[in-house]
Amino acid sequence: MIELLDHCSEEVASQIHGVLQRAYKVEAELVKAKHFPPLGRSAAQIRLAERSFLGRRIGSKLAAVAEYTLNGSHLGIDSLAVHPRFFRRGLATEILRSLLDRYDWRTADVETAAKNYPAIALYSKFGFSESKRWTTDEGIEKVQLACGRNP
C-alpha cells in the first residue's frame, strides 16, 4: 500500500535517506558519474524539505519513495527511487501511478540523467516526453520530461 510519509520524523527521514542513497548509488554507476550531487543529501535535509513524500513498504521495510511538490495544478516530481533489494517488482510503476492518480494536476515534470534509460522508459509509459536537455556542472547530461492532461 502506498502511504504519505511523515518525513519530518527523524526515523522516517532516515528510512527515506536510506532508500534514496542506495538507489542513487546505482544511478551514479549507471550514468558513470564521478560526483553525483543527490548522494550528498543528508537525512536532516530530508526532514527539513518543503516537499511531500509517498512511500511503499514491503513488510516493515521502506522499499520505494516518491518526493514531489504540488504547486497549484503543477506536479513536480523531485525523485522516485526504489531500494535495489526491491528492483524488478513493479514498485516504481506502482508508486508513480499512485502519485499521478492522487492529485488533480494539469502539468507534471521530472528530471533525470539522460542515460537513466529505465527511468525514462517508466515515465514514457505514463505519457511523459522530453522537454529539455542540458549538461550539469558535474558533466552529467540530464533531461526534463513533461506531461500534461486535460481536466
Could you read off the pLDDT tens digit of each residue along the chain, which spans 151 residues? Answer: 999 999 999 999 999 999 999 999 999 998 888 888 889 999 999 999 999 999 999 999 999 999 999 999 999 999 999 999 999 999 999 999 999 999 999 999 999 999 999 999 999 999 999 999 999 998 899 999 999 986 6
* Total number of residues shown for the chain: 151
Residues 146 and 150: their CA atoms lie apart, in Å, by 14
* Strand extents, DSSP E, the chain: 2-5, 52-58, 61-71, 74-82, 107-113, 129-135, 141-148
| Global confidence as pTM | 0.94
Residues 75 and 107: their CA atoms lie apart, in Å, by 6
- The answer regarding whether domain 2-105 maps to CATH 3.40.630.30 reads yes
50 CB burial (10 A radius; 0-12, 13-18, 19+) = exposed
Neighbours of 12 (CB within 10 A): 18
Residue 151: predicted pLDDT: 62
**Residues 6+ away with beta carbon under 8 Å from 132:** 143, 144
Domain range list for the chain: 2-105
Residues paired with 67 in a beta bridge: 53, 79
3-state secondary structure of 115: coil
Residue 115: predicted pLDDT: 93
Neighbours of 151 (CB within 10 A): 5
Residue 58: φ, ψ to 5°: -120, 110
